[in-house]
Structures are given as structure tokens and as C-alpha cells.
Amino acid sequence: MPGRVTRPSTKSAAVHRGKPALRVLGTSVSLIEPIRTRAEQDLGITLDFIIEDGTSAQRIAALYPEAFDVYDQWFHNIDLIWPARSIQPLDLTRIERWDEINDLPKRGRLNADAETAPGGNPANRLYVQEDGELGSQPTGHISMLPTVHNADSFAMAAGGENAESWSALLDNAHTGRVAVQSDAAIGVIDLILAARAAGWTDFRDPGNLTVGEIDTLVDMLLARRRKGHFKAFWATEAEASALFEADRVNVSSMWWQGFVALRRRGVAVTMAAPREGYRGWYGGLALSRDLDDRRRDAAYAYLNWWLSGYAGAVMARNNAHISNPETARAHMSAAEWNYWYGGKPAGEDLRCPYGRVIVRQGERYPGGSYADRLGRIAIWNSVMDEHNYLVRRWTEFLKL
């Protein structure tokens, strides 16, 4: 588990060598060097990326709005951040490409035929309602600008069975060599999907467990943990990647960015396309309540830059999708677009944002096209109504 977050520096980053400057708080999922350098170049600003694991970034955002200007994280965390009033509503009249954003974050599904998945669906916490709370009814203000997202699953070590079910995380064949994400809003979802797939139990609403359901799930997981089933718990994609590099695990929860990191370093793993569907996540950008006018103007320029195409192309190469894909398409080769979004075999070797080959010609994206995968989200990352109780029981499980 991430350690206790100490009070961060509150030094203003409003001006740096005569340029507007922004402090962007988030995770390594989207705060990567190619994004920072190009945004600084295009916008004429200075960016200070404050990179934390997800839980730590969430705590800083809730408790210390004076310590950041832009918050770059995930929609399900809004359930904890918005009540703290540490971020401000975003004015849609200042979002230049709002109409280009597809229906997934706006309506909770890509098209009318897709099912609306339970959990922290971004559409249910997107719009700021008249009473100041968040909901799905469109208004002129939003909580976060929808940006990067994907449908995650789990990874298998090279040479292992190409699992097609979440039950692999609980399979006795992998006892002692299983890793799970440590964030209660993410790792629990993976194990809910695994428990259902393995036939252990089912839930009234798998994205929002009752106290009794939490106890049932955690008690079963504790019994499995006492038998040595779980090898490790990780907080960042770097930690997840290190477990495979050191040959400590056969199967692990995995973010697609971690999969790219492993491919970049030449570690062969397989990403599962589970028949039960995926765990969905959606990222976005929010603004601190403490911005002055100059930093607010720079922050809106940064938000609009994210939708201008280049960032979306870079994030595709890092295995995350952007909320307005067609604009990113102009910054991608035909082979990149066909692989990352079209579900077609790679027409050539494809490179990550750092220039390393991560996809070989002829490979096909596991699970198919963008529409295929994002149309099969089983549960979104979720902050449940009983989140505090879940965290207490989850912590008991992690620390056993």
C-alpha cells in the first residue's frame, strides 16, 4: 500500500523564467515526458509534472488544492475529490473541441446498442448539476475534461496459458505467483470479476457492494491468501512490470501502459481478452479551486491542447485511447490507426512514445478494435457507497 502522504510543497508555479507555469498532479499513466516537452513547446508554458501513485495523487488533490494547478487522474476518484471542493467546475464554453468527444464519457456507452456498465461510469459524474452535485444531466459545466481511457484486464507470463477468463487470478495452478493492483477502487474490481468468473459468488451490483458482500468477498480472499496464493500487490505500473521482469509472477492485474513498458524492455507477456468483459477506466483533467486568472487561462489552454490531436496520438502509442479519436488520427500513421483503433493486424512494426518497437508487423490488438473492447466493459473502476468499510477490509487483506 502507498505510504502516508506528507504535506506537499505549496510554492506557486505561476511564473517560471517569464513563462506561465502549471503544476500538473497525476500518475505515470499520462504524465510522460513526450507529453510535457511537446505541450511546453506548443503552448509556450512550463509544466511541472507531480507524479504519484493513484492513491497518493487522490489524497493530495482532496487535501491540498493549493499544491497543484491541474489534476490529471481518473473519473471514479471524483467521488472522493468533488465533495472536498478542491477542484472547480469547468466551463464548457472554454473547451474548444467538446463536440468532438464521443459518447462514452457523455452517455456512458459508445453507441445505443452497448450496455451501460456498473461502477464508476464517467457519464454519471461528468456534469455539474444546478445544486452543485454531479450527475448525467447535461449542463454548461463539467467536473473533469474526459481524456484518456481504456479497457484493462490482466497479463500472463510468456509460455503460460493464454487465459480467456478473469478466473485465472484465482486459479490454483498459479498459487504463489499471482499479483493484484493495490488500490481498493481498482484491485477489488479485478477480484470481483475473478470471483464471479470462478463461480465463487455473485453480487447484486458488482460495482457497488453491500457491507455483507464486501465481507463475503474479502473473507474468501483472506482464506486464499493464507494458503499463499498471492505473491504481491502493486501500486504503479512500474511495480507491476518489475514483477514480471524478475519472474516472480505468472499472472497479474495489468494496466495497458504496464504492458507497453514490458514490451519496451523486451519482456514477453500476453494481455488477456477475458470473455467476461473488461474493467474500464476513464481519465480526465480538472482544475484546482485556487487558480488565479493567469494560471486558469494557461490551464484551459493545456486542456484544449490535450484534445488537439498530438497528445491523443502519443497516448495511443502508450496504449491508451483519447476521447476524440478522429482528431488524433491525423497525427498517426495508417498502420498505427488500424492497429490501435481498428483492430487490424499491424502493417508494420509500431513504436512506443520513446521510439522502441513494441508491436511487430502482423500482430493484432488483443480483444479487437476500440469499439469492440470499449463496448465490452463489465465494470468500471469504482468508489463504492461503502468505500470506507471496503478500504478497512481490503487493508486487512493486503497486510495479512
Mean pLDDT for the chain overall: 93
Checking if the pLDDT of 27 tops 80, the result is yes
Residues 6 or more apart whose CB falls under 8 angstroms from that of 190 comprise: 154, 166, 169, 180, 181, 253, 279
Q: For position 44, what pLDDT does the model report?
A: 96
Give me the amino acid identity at 250.
N
Residues 6 or more apart whose CB falls under 8 angstroms from that of 258 comprise: 155, 237, 238, 240, 241
CB 122 within 8 A of CB 108: yes
Phi, psi of 243 (to 5 degrees): -65, -40
The 10s digit of each residue's pLDDT in 116-158 is: 999 999 999 999 999 999 999 999 999 999 999 999 999 999 7
Residues 6 or more apart whose CB falls under 8 angstroms from that of 131 comprise: none
CA dihedral 166, 152, 186, 276 (to 10 degrees): -30
Q: Which of 236, 245, 239 is nearest to 263 (CA)?
A: 245
Other residues' Cβ atoms within 10 Å of the Cβ of residue 187: 23
Q: For position 140, what pLDDT does the model report?
A: 98
- Sign of torsion over alpha carbons 265, 266, 269, 270: positive
Share of the chain above pLDDT 70, in %: 94
Q: For position 2, what pLDDT does the model report?
A: 39
Checking if the pLDDT of 13 tops 80, the result is no
The 10s digit of each residue's pLDDT in 197-222 is: 999 999 999 999 999 999 999 999 99
CB 278 within 8 A of CB 253: no
The 10s digit of each residue's pLDDT in 301-360 is: 999 999 999 999 999 999 999 999 999 999 999 999 999 999 999 999 999 999 999 999
Share of the chain above pLDDT 90, in %: 87
Phi, psi of 375 (to 5 degrees): -85, 0
Residues 6 or more apart whose CB falls under 8 angstroms from that of 18 comprise: none
Q: How confident is the model at residue 185 (pLDDT cuts 50, 70, 90)?
A: very high
Give me the amino acid identity at 249.
V
Checking if the pLDDT of 11 tops 60, the result is no
Q: For position 19, what pLDDT does the model report?
A: 77
Q: For position 163, what pLDDT does the model report?
A: 76
Q: For position 10, what pLDDT does the model report?
A: 56
398: cell is 493486503
The mean pLDDT value for 32-47 works out to 97
146 CB-side CA count, 13 A: 31
